[in-house]
Structures are given as C-alpha cells and as structure tokens.
Structure 1
C-alpha cells in the first residue's frame, strides 16, 4: 500500500507541474499554430516547430519586450543556423498557386507549339544553320593557327 501511495504522489508532481506551468503556456501556442496552419496557403510549407519556437519566444511572460521578434532574430536560432545553415526552400514552396499555374501553363503551351510540324521544320533548319556556323568557326580557328605556325617558322 505504501509503495502505491509513493508512486501516486511522485507521479502527481509532474502532472501538477504540467497542468500549472506547461499547459497554460503551450495550449494557446498550439491553438494559434493550428489556426495559422489552417489558413496558410496549401502550397507553402508550414513548419510547426518554427512557429512554436517563435510564438513561445515572443509570448514568454518573463520577457515582455519581444513583441515583433521573428524566428530569424532569436539569438539561439541565429547561433544554430551559423553551425547548421538551412537549405533554401524549393521553388514549389515559395510560389503562390497562381504563379505555379502560370509556369505549368507556359511550359505546356511551349511543348504544344514545339510539336507543330512547321515549328519542327524551323527548329531543324536552325540546328543545321548552327552546325554550319560552328563548322565555319572551327575551320577559321584551325586556319588561323596554321597561318600563325607558318609565320613563326619563317
């Protein structure tokens, strides 16, 4: 019986600590995080840990002077990012949905245009012209080298 009471009293202390200290601070932070995640654009990456770190840092009751601080301004975050810099976000996480639609549509339209026979014929003509110019350039370069060798030998 005494061991059960000892176990209950020792387990009630952490529970009391959580209920009186941690949950009153963490619960509003998690609620705000969920609200923010819900309204964040679906293509954007929402990092809940970043949000919670910033929220808890700004809303620390012991430090009331941190009102407009962003995650990048937090000293321990700056130190961590000096040691372990973050990779840049992929393009899909930085574009709005409209920007992504425009890029996809422009690539699709370009593909459809390049499939047209008259465009294919024009592109083949351009490739031939480019090869011809490259051949002329190569011959001219070789001829200049040959002439310069001949002049140096005489």
Structure 2
C-alpha cells in the first residue's frame, strides 16, 4: 500500500505541474527608435510639383527623375498644340520619339491614345507610362544591337 500512496502523490504533483504550465522568462522586446521619413531628393520634389502643375498622372515609371521631367515638360506644349487642332496623336507620338532619340540615343518607341493595350520589353531605366488630359502616353526604349553578319536569305527551290 505504501507504493500506491507514493504513486498517488507523484500523479498529483504531475497534474499540479501541468496545471501551472511551464514557466518561461518574460518576453523582452527591443525598443526601436522612431522612424523618421527621409526627405526626398530635390529632383523628386521638383518632379512632383511639375506633375501636379501639369495635371499629369504617373502610372508606372522605370526612368530617372530628370528624364521624367523632360518628358512631362515636352509633352504639355504638344498637347496645347493638339487642343488648337494643329497636330494629331500620331504627330505627338512622333515628336516625343524624335526628341528622346536625339537626346538619349536611338530605339525609343512612343504610343499615345485614349485606349490601347500593350505588353513591351524595355531597357532598364527607359520606360514611362502616364496620362494627361484624358490621353495616355507610353514611352519606352529598347536595346539596339548591331548585326555581326547579315541573315542568310532563303532560296526558293522550284520543284518540277
């Protein structure tokens, strides 16, 4: 009988321990300094002011701020000329393309319109998609590779 009393005491201790739970060290949290927002560079502030002033909605861009500023400042006079009936959307796209070809090298492409779909591959740092005055603009650059040799021409064989 002594054994059964000892077993009963052991069982009671186990039950009591399980009810108490496991004691752990108190949780410690690291206090981090408050996050202070870094001021945006001056170029980005100028760009934001220009976008608001010209009523432009930037949708997507992979382009340096200086180039974006150039696009926006060049687009607005083209739109003003279009409002007066002196140019077409094709003319606006051609002017933007030629301007960027002259400034930043060849292989720029421009699409201007109210409704279009696109899926393009562009060079890094050479893409912008924005809207202004109910028109959407897509300007992007592709890579130009010189041909090392001319592609072979297919010869036609006459089967008689």
Q: Is the shorter-chain TM-score for this pair beyond 0.5, marking a shared fold?
A: no
User: TM (normalized to structure 1)?
Assistant: 0.25
Decide which structure has greater helix share: 1
Which structure is richer in relative contact order (CA contacts within 8 A, separation 6 or more)?
Answer: 2
User: TM (normalized to structure 2)?
Assistant: 0.25
